[in-house]
Amino acid sequence: MRQVTIIGVGLIGGSFGMALRERLPSLLTDVRIVGCDTPETLAIARDCRFLDAIEPDPCLAVRGSDWVVLATPVGAIIDLIERIAPHLKPGVMVTDVGSTKVEVVAKAQAVFGASAALRFLAGHPMAGKETGGIEHATPDLFQGSAWLFTPLPGQDLTLPPFGEFVTAVESFGARTMAMDVNEHDRLCAWISHVPQLWSTALAAALVQEFGEDAPLLELGGRALKEMTRIAASPYSMWRDVALTNRTNLSDALLQMEQRLAHMRENLNTRDLAKEFEQAHRLKVKKA
């Protein structure tokens, strides 16, 4: 391997590049890491010193690369797959970090055709912060987090070039897991996308009820701070999630609405206690 291109050097892409540089020095001997983003972001990324070259044009950035990592919002990932395909050299591995996978995989199969399983690896690191951008990137971002993959039919993640990438991700401290692409999107609607919208709704409701200048977070306890922390996440990222996982997300939100309505209607009955009892069954399983 001689070159890795990261398109989108924000929080996830920047952290990936930093982790590559710091955690895999033996793998990256004489390997160039090329960053692609807006000129403003690239100027900041250059000061972080994990990039060997910068290029704002993705079609130029991918030329000669062995790995191409698409670390942009999902809508841009779908567009980039088609845009960069004519400029990729034979044998290149393209992967992404999008938080929805069905539409991403469909685009990869449409663009790469019969060779898609040899060229594209659909991935999703379950890591992030409420604040994005290269300014918040860190090589430790993936430590202890899950990195999900949704293999294409016939794709073996233990064989080159995918095996090397999976090994690299695990060296970052991530726990890797493979699953069906449809199950991924249904699962993430519940464990990632609903929590984000829940936090956003709670924060928006508080502002509407008390005004934006009320010292709510100062007066509230730890639970309020934890539940509203991710409400600061940018709409620009979650817009694409909502558009590309709309059915799963709508179904999950409807179930949550029904459960909240049930709790509201049973504030003075034993059914409220049953809700607490069921909730207490949700526990972190030890490895």
Q: What does the pLDDT profile of the chain (287 residues) look like in tens digits?
A: 799 999 999 999 999 999 999 887 655 567 899 999 999 999 999 999 899 999 999 999 999 999 999 999 999 999 999 999 999 999 999 999 999 999 999 999 999 999 999 999 999 999 977 788 999 999 999 999 999 999 999 999 999 999 999 999 999 999 999 999 999 999 999 999 999 999 999 999 999 999 999 999 999 999 999 999 999 998 988 999 999 999 999 999 999 999 999 999 999 999 999 999 999 999 877 65
CA distances from 275 to 196, 263, 283 (A): 22, 8, 15
For residues 100 and 195, membership in a common domain is answered with no
> The pTM is what?
0.92
Residues contacting 89, CB < 8 A, separation 6+? 63, 64, 65
Please give the backbone phi and psi of residue 141, each rounded to the nearest 5 degrees, phi first: -60, -35
**Count of domains in the chain?**
2
- End-of-domain residue from the set 121, 148, 179: 179
- Domain residues for the domain of 199 are 183-279
Pairing of β 93-96 and β 67-70 = parallel
Structural domain contains residue 284: no
Identify the pLDDT of residue 44.
93
Instruction: Say how far apart CA 184 and CA 190 lie, in whole Å.
Output: 10
Contacts 24+ apart (CB under 8 A), 231-238: 231/130, 231/199, 231/200, 231/202, 231/203, 231/204, 232/130, 232/131, 233/130, 233/132, 233/196, 233/200, 234/132, 236/73, 237/73, 237/132, 238/193, 238/196, 238/197, 238/200
Check which CATH number belongs to the domain holding 158 and give it. Answer: 3.40.50.720
Structural domain contains residue 129: yes
Instruction: Say how far apart CA 16 and CA 147 lie, in whole Å.
Output: 12
Identify the pLDDT of residue 25.
61
Identify the pLDDT of residue 268.
96
Identify the pLDDT of residue 153.
94
Identify the pLDDT of residue 183.
98
For residues 45 and 141, membership in a common domain is answered with yes
Tell me if 65 sits within 8 A of 3, measured CB to CB.
yes
For residues 193 and 154, membership in a common domain is answered with no
Identify the pLDDT of residue 186.
98
Instruction: Say how far apart CA 200 and CA 208 lie, in whole Å.
Output: 12
